[in-house]
Amino acid sequence: MKLNIILIMLFFSLLSFISFTSGVARDHIRPVYIISISGKVDPAMASFVKRAVAKANNENTKTIIFEIDSFGGRVDSALDIVNTLLTIDKNKSVSYVKTKAISAGSLIALASGSLYMKNGTTIGDCAPITYSKEGVKEMGEKFQSPLRAKFRALAKRNGFIQVLAESMVSKDKEIIRSKKGGKFYYFDREEFDELEQKVKEEYTSFKTVVKKGELLTMDDSEAKDLSFSKKSVADLKDLLKLLNIDINDIVKINKTWSEIIAGHLISIAPILMMIGLAGIYLEIKSPGFGIAGIIGLTCLFLAFSGQYMAGLANYTEMLIIFTGILCLIIEIFFLPGFGIAGITGLVLIFSGMVLALQDFVLPDPKLPWEMDIFFHNIVSAMAVSVFSFLLSILAFRYILPHLSFAGQRPFLNANLKNSHAHSFESRGIQTGDRGIAISKLRPSGKAEFNKNRIDVISQNEFIDKGEAVEVIESTKNKIVVQKIEV
């Protein structure tokens, strides 16, 4: 009996020890973070990825998986994300193409140490483009060259084939695959043709894998065949199983509500700035402080909040714009004419708007897309300025006169129905004109002639309201009437 009790106690002690040790082991397992890169690549996404990677690095994570589903977006934002990914040990970073990794999305996908793709997904086509009157236009060699250099650097780091990576950017390359000693080699056609004949003869089984005039775009099986993707998987669970990752160790980092709002605010920032400046202008031109000023300040605050949360702007840009507004107020209310204060104000406002739309002060000549962004922001700021001025004029003309709060300001809200003119000739009142007394004439009062109300005086009699009267004398200062006897 005692032996049974001892055995039972030992059994439960063993279970407790196993449970305790497994719990301790679980506590010390480093988590695996999954960061979603989905949608348009923009400053808000770059800011989110930077925060998420910093959080994962602080936790000393075992692996960071980037789940990619993007058609691309801004080149500068994509490069910011790539630079963030390069801070991670390449043995810890994994790119997983969930649906597509096109254009800037492909650049991000190749920044991880290893790449896996879901069945049926695509990757590639990273030629820099712009939009013109003729539609989508591919940008020239000046833009393609630094991008190709970035693709080469990523290919060297992560073991991809360099000429194939470059062919995602430029379509003037024809890439051929040849065989030598049982191993495949890839060449740019022009570079291969320049080789000595002896060297050429060492290669066999030539095949064109990228035609000239085309950009390299691959599905998952082609990416595996061309040594970009390590393997195609059915879904994320299949990838976790392949990497020997327990699903309980997964931590997903999602965008916060502020990051989501920041993305939306950035997309409408020029509109918010336009409304904000129009509201401020309306407030400056009308006395007091009312709804126009509140709307203007709110819109400017929202516009700068989105830029600030995405890392594009800080308090400096907001201070520059409000200093410009202050200069305009000084010019309008305290200085005669339009001089240096007004010009300074306009320059400061314009400069603040441009700076708030970008994360650099002046474009770097080595990064040609920054020059493109800079000119685009200048055009946007000019459009905002013009349309905000037009919007304020329309508001003055069609909106403010119909708002109830306008009556609280010193606007003219009376009419001239009961007024009278001092020059009766201007109303065409002549001797012999007939009208109706619209008040009692004792002897002075009012009479109506051809729908004009006139101050009149009766001659030696009182006339009741509603009686017919006739003008017997008309001068600049008075109209004398008499009652018409029926």
- Identify the residue with better confidence: 41 or 393: 41
| Sequence-distant (≥ 6) Cβ neighbours of residue 233 within 8 angstroms | 96, 116, 117, 118, 119, 239, 242
Lowest mean pLDDT among 36-50, 182-196, 386-400: 386-400
What would be the CATH architecture of the domain defined by 31-138+219-255?
Alpha-Beta Complex (3.90)
Lowest mean pLDDT among 58-72, 285-299, 435-449: 285-299
Class of domain 424-483: mainly beta
| Residue 8, pLDDT score | 46
Cβ atoms 49, 81 nearer than 8 A: yes
Lowest mean pLDDT among 25-39, 48-62, 71-85: 25-39
Q: Would you say residue 256 has pLDDT above 60?
A: yes
Q: Could you give the angle at the alpha carbon of 345 between the alpha carbons of 365 and 323, nearest 5°?
A: 90
| Residue 414, pLDDT score | 52
Q: Would you say residue 110 has pLDDT above 60?
A: yes
| Residue 134, pLDDT score | 61
Which structure tokens are listed for 299? 């819109």
Q: Would you say residue 33 has pLDDT above 80?
A: yes
Domain range annotation of the chain: 1-25, 31-138+219-255, 259-408, 424-483
Query: What pLDDT, in 10s, does the model give residues 436-482?
Result: 888 888 778 888 888 788 888 887 777 888 888 888 888 767 888 88
Q: Would you say residue 199 has pLDDT above 90?
A: no
| Residue 105, pLDDT score | 92
How many C-alpha atoms does 325 have within 13 Å on its Cβ side?
Answer: 23
0.75 exceeded by the pTM?
no
The pLDDT confidence band at residue 311, using thresholds 50, 70 and 90, is low
Residue 128's region, left for phi above 0, alpha for psi from -120 to 50, else beta, is: beta
Alpha carbon dihedral 62, 66, 67, 70, in 10-degree steps, equals 180
Give the residue ranges of DSSP H helices in 178-313.
189-193, 197-200, 220-225, 236-242, 257-267, 269-285, 291-309
| Residue 50, pLDDT score | 92
Q: Would you say residue 35 has pLDDT above 90?
A: yes
